[in-house]
Amino acid sequence: MEVKKNPNADVGRNSSLFFVVGLNVMLLFTYFGFEYKTYNSTLTETDILMLNEQLEEDIPITNIEITPPPPPPKPVVSPVIQVVEDVTEIEETVLESTEIGQDDVIEPVVKVEDVEVEEVEEDIEVPFAVIERVPTFPGCKGNNNQLRVCFQEKIRDHLQKNFEYPEVAQELGLTGKVYVFFLIDKDGYVTKIKSRGPDKLLENEAERIIGLLPKMIPGKQRDRNVSVPYSIPINFKLQGN
């Protein structure tokens, strides 16, 4: 016997409609879920101060004393002008011309013999390579060539003895060669120290070392003390570089 199905009892005939309705409902809930916003609510407490008695403050009475204005100044009475007859005779002053004519004789105020001429000693600079007598470093002896070699050795020993690498320059890794220029004046002092290098820290250290040089016997040119310029390079190099 064949079983017949009742079309009204078919459960799956509206399944697609139910699926679409359910999908729309879920999408609607999802949309509201994303769009829902919450705000932080802060609680504030308000206290009301109740005063049973009214506060009364006594305000002191201040008396202001106003000084009276000063009296107006008395009017100045102009003196009476009396007219006096002019009975004295006035002598006229004749102004003489100060221009010099051809007939006037000019007398010298100062004689030529009375003028003293002072010799101005010029500060002459002679290069270290061509000077007749190089500056003598303390402790150096010998002829000019020996003094020149000794001078350079003493300068090198002085640099090694007083050399200090700046700590900041070490931390920054600053290296390079600094050229120092200075002048040994006619009195033997080291002056006019200048430097040129890759950084100001290294330049300051090089100038400090040269500033510690001792007083020397000044150089001579034609038996006369002269200033001698000198330059030397100082190499700043870190170990491992």
148/77: higher pLDDT: 148
Name every residue whose Cβ is closer than 8 Å to that of residue 7 and which is 6 or more positions away in sequence.
Answer: 13
Greater confidence (215 vs 58) lies with 215
- pTM of the entire predicted model: 0.49
Nearest CA-CA partner of 180 in 158, 202, 164: 202
Report which of residues 232 and 43 the model is more confident about.
Answer: 232
Residue by residue, DSSP assigns 33-79 as HHH-------------PPPSS----PPPP-PPPPPPPPPPPPPPPPP
**Pair 219, 228: CB distance under 8 Å:** yes
Both structure tokens of 93: 């002053």
Picking from 211, 162, 160, 159, the residue whose alpha carbon sits closest to that of residue 190 is 211
Give phi and psi for 87, each to the nearest 5.
-110, -10
Alpha helices in the chain (DSSP H): 15-35, 144-162, 167-172, 200-211
Q: Which option is the CATH number for 144-236: 1.20.1540, 3.40.1350, 3.30.2420, 3.20.20?
A: 3.30.2420
As to burial, measured by CB atoms within 10 angstroms (0-12 exposed, 13-18 middle, 19+ buried), residue 226 is: buried
Q: What is the pLDDT of residues 64-122, one digit of tens each?
A: 666 777 887 777 666 666 666 665 666 666 666 666 666 665 665 556 565 566 665 66
DSSP state letter for 136? B
- Compute, in degrees rounded to 10, the torsion defined by CA atoms 103, 104, 108, 109: 180
pLDDT at 20: 84
pLDDT of residue 146: 92
Domain positions in the chain are 144-236
| Per-chain mean pLDDT for the chain | 79
- CB-CB contact of 205 with 128 (8 Å): no
How sure is the predictor about 54, in pLDDT bands with cuts at 50, 70 and 90? low
Kindly state the percentage of the chain with pLDDT values over 90. 32
- For residue 212, the Cα-to-chain-centroid distance in whole angstroms is 27
Give the mean pLDDT of 133-150: 91
Residue 25, SS3 per DSSP = helix
pLDDT for position 135: 93
